[in-house]
């Protein structure tokens, strides 16, 4: 429960410099007699950008608006202009040709406008390609020439004690470089609802560094800076976290392809393998995830997995615990084939299975799908578990709030939306794109039980 007493500040990380940091030298530095990592910084800092976010929020209520005496003299609430809120963060160019910029989800999640400023002071409006709250990764795109991308490293090759450099935009001051070491790897428990495998580093943390780059001394990007822990709301205590670049790139690829992250699903409820559980189950393994129950009809059920089985590997990669298994499965796509290694009655066995659709973490409710247009509606990609799979293309209404505008119009859970205002849709992102440019009534072309129908949501 220690984490309950700690304030997790999503302000990303800068890293405290110290005299023991490994140095890179140049001829110029040798002539001056000053050790330096300046050549490293010069090679990568053009790829780190500043991100400015504008969010519009409804005006705050005041007692005047609730006092009947003043009502005749005040404009209606819906005529009061929204308040504009400004915030700042950082990002990293990972594809110069396409203009892709990685940052944190929490930097842009409430954005109405996003502006990216390069180190050479050029500034561009950014398109939000997609975001994934579960990993705190978002992907932006800018249209610009002569961009610089950072070389990509492999976070699987990292060791505790490796020296690293962080580059970001603290307090909106502009490009700032700090340095430190990797303090730990594979950290979890920071966001239990997410997919965690954080790189921990000692850090002088400052607001605005979120989404910045964590770089090795050979100039490779190995993490996207994302969070700190500060006891009792205090300042930095040298505990900062970055999303490993391998995880960030997995998310990026799906955001480019789908505009969201589609996750595989095994169909089990799991818990960590403890010493007591291992003894009770007769298992000699020290790490793994114990299956508490198996959902009927899921890939795990069809593969013969049972409660009490201990999953120790996925595709040959060791499973450290329940969070690790959740990450390994959740970062795979639906329909991916995986090999599960498990122990039952002391015997090591394997099962090959194909993952089901486990949902997406693209926000699919009021604030994301066309604003208020589909308030109370959750959408998901059409997959083979739906009866309409293979016969139509569209998105599925996975949940709908009773009494919502869409429910009153006749939309139901399980409906497949194939077009919005006569424009075909295949992904949730398609629906969002069309609705954000739509005012007035909305016409949904829907397939239900093999029948085609038109549902109109009137304004």
The residues annotated with a catalytic role in the active site are 106, 136, 210
Distance of alpha carbon 401 from its chain centroid, rounded? 25
Residues 100-119 as b/e (b if ≥16 CB within 10 A, e otherwise) read: bbbbbbbbbbebeebbbbbe
Task: Using alpha carbons, select from 294, 231, 223 the residue that is nearest to residue 265.
Answer: 294
Q: Please give the C-alpha separations between residue 149 and each of 120, 146, 167, 197, 222, in angstroms, as whole numbers.
A: 14, 10, 14, 24, 13
DSSP 144: -
CA distance 99 to 95: 6
CA–CA distances in Å: residue 7 to residues 15, 45, 205? 19, 30, 13
Q: 257 by DSSP, 3-state: which?
A: helix
CB burial of 247-278 (b: ≥16 within 10 Å; e: otherwise) equals: bbbbbbebbeebbbbbbbbbbbebeebeeeeb
Measured between alpha carbons, how far is 337 from 454 in angstroms, rounded to an integer?
37
Burial of 433 (0-12, 13-18, 19+ CB in 10 A): middle
C-alpha span between 217 and 153 (Å, rounded):
11
Residue 421 Ramachandran class (φ > 0 left, ψ -120 to 50 alpha, else beta): left
- Residue 240: its H or E element: strand 240-244
Ordered DSSP codes for 267-287 = -EEEEE--HHHHHHHT---SS
Residues constituting the chain: 459
Per-residue DSSP letters for 305-353?
--TT-EEEEETTEEP-SHHHHHHHHHTSPTT-EEEEEEEETTEEEEEEE
């Amino acid at each position: 429960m220690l984490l309950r007493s700690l304030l997790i500040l999503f302000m990303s990380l800068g890293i405290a410099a110290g005299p023991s940091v490994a140095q890179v030298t140049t001829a110029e530095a040798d002539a001056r007699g000053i050790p330096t990592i300046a050549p490293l910084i010069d090679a990568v800092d053009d790829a780190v950008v500043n991100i400015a976010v504008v969010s519009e929020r409804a005006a705050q209520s005041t007692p005047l608006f609730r006092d009947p005496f003043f009502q005749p003299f005040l404009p209606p609430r819906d005529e009061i202009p929204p308040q504009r809120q400004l915030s700042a963060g950082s990002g990293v160019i990972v594809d110069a040709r396409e203009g892709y910029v990685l940052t944190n989800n929490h930097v842009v999640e409430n954005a109405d406008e996003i502006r990216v400023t390069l180190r050479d002071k050029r500034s561009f409006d950014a398109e939000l390609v997609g975001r994934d709250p579960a990993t705190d990764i978002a992907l932006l795109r800018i249209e610009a020439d002569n961009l610089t991308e950072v070389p990509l490293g492999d976070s699987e090759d990292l060791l505790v004690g490796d020296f690293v450099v962080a580059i970001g935009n603290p307090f909106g001051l502009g490009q700032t470089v700090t340095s430190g070491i990797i303090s730990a790897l594979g950290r979890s428990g920071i966001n239990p609802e997410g997919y965690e495998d954080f790189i921990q580093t000692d850090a002088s943390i400052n607001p605005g560094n979120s989404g910045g780059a964590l770089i090795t001394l050979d100039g490779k990007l190995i993490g996207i800076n994302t969070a700190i822990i500060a006891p009792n709301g205090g300042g930095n205590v040298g505990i900062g976290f970055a999303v490993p670049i391998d995880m960030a790139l997995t998310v990026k690829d799906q955001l480019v392809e789908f505009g969201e992250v589609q996750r595989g699903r095994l169909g089990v409820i799991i818990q960590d393998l403890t010493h007591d559980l291992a003894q009770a189950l007769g298992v000699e393994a020290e790490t793994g995830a114990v299956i508490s129950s198996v959902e009927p009809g899921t890939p795990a059920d069809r593969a013969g997995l049972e409660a009490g089985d201990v999953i120790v590997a996925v595709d040959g990669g060791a499973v450290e615990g329940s969070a690790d298994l959740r990450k390994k499965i959740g970062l795979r796509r639906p329909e991916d084939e995986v090999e599960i290694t498990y122990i039952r009655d002391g015997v090591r066995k394997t099962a090959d299975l194909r993952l089901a659709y486990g949902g997406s973490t693209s926000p699919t409710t009021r604030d994301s799908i066309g604003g208020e247009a589909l308030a109370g509606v959750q959408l998901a990609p059409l997959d083979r578990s739906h009866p309409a799979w293979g016969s139509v293309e569209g998105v599925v209404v996975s949940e709908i709030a009773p009494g919502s505008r869409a429910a009153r119009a006749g939309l139901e859970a399980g409906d497949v939306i194939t077009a919005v205002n006569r424009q075909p849709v295949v992904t949730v992102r398609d629906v969002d794109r069309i609705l954000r440019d739509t005012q007035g009534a909305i016409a949904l072309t829907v397939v239900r039980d093999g029948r085609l129908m038109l549902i109109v949501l009137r304004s």
